[in-house]
Amino acid sequence: MPRIEAVATAVPPHVLDQEESMSLARHFFQEAFPDVDRLLGVFAHSQIRKRHFCMPKDWFTRDWMFAEKNQLYVEHAESLALEAARKCLERAQTAADSIDCLIFVSSTGIATPSIDSRLVGKLGMRPDATRIPLWGLGCAGGAMGLSRSCEYASAYPSRRVLLVSVELCGLTFIRQDMSKSNLVATCLFADGAAAVLVEGDQLAPATSGPRLHFRGAQTTTWPDTLDVMGWEVTEPGLKVVFSRDIPSLIQQSMRTNVDSFLSPLGTSVHAIRHFIFHPGGAKVLTAYQRSLELAADATRLSAEVLANYGNMSSPTVLFVLEKSMEQSWTAGEQGLLAALGPGFSSELMLLEAR
């Protein structure tokens, strides 16, 4: 079974607390919504304290076109991805030229050559390293990227895979978009990056101690749900699309989805000790708890990430994974990693300490 050797995260320098964000949102949306103060209640109920962005607060007060935003995306996504990747390799005591495959996940900008091609030389990777860029997976991207990384290491057990996930959600803000979805987005989304090193089981660990091993993964794409979550490409940029029905969909469908995944692997929700869930929002975590019959403490780490970083889309679940790996796992304990994204889709992973 492939194992996770290290996880590292990085955030940009500009920090907005939720009070500042709410004040900005009131300024932006007060003309469009006479009852703006009622709508701004979403900030008070978000359970988010602060978020990080690659651009300062004043940047959000101006109108920008997609080309201008995307130029900033390429610049800042590369630097943030490099920071997370270098930190991950340092934690794993692994040289960049020993990486055989680089999987890069992002959905908040476009680059050709893709960002991963830029990382190869700057990290000091071998020119013959396999590159797999994944785009359009949204909030599910970190989990899907980790699943594909583990499956690659299962197929090639003597290889190392570096997964890098970076999103700059702040750059997708459209000042001209007066929709309620955009108002909610100003409350939730943020910027961040994460990197994970996955190794095949034929490689000897660089350090001693227990590891999290990959037991299996499952992708589910529900039919007739293309309008639940995603981007609409417009002249000013990527316009956010997400449905208010997401918590209801989770509550209705997640238990069946999780049970169908865990049962063939010989386990169940009741046997899981660690829950590593993408915190799409406070209501999403509550929906997970209700659907899977979990106590609030089961998703405590997800709630902590949400409070301190907001929803960074794809890397967010990897922030939760990093926190979980800092906890004490006993050999044999199992963890369920889960994230939801456009499609409407879910990605589930079963991890086990060994």
Which positions are catalytic?
139
The DSSP bridge pattern shows strands 101-106 and 50-53 to be: unpaired
The answer to whether residues 76 and 111 touch, using CB atoms and an 8 Å cutoff, is no
Q: DSSP letters along 35-89, please?
A: THHHHTHHHHTS---EEEESS-GGGGGS---HHHHHHHHHHHHHHHHHHHHHHHH
203-207: long-range pairs with CB below 8 Å, 24+:
203/157, 203/158, 203/159, 203/160, 205/3, 205/5, 206/5, 206/92, 206/93, 206/94, 207/92, 207/93
Q: Which two tokens stand for residue 251?
A: 């509550």
Name 9's Cβ contacts closer than 8 Å, sequence gap at least 6: 84, 87, 192, 193, 194, 195, 315, 318, 319, 322
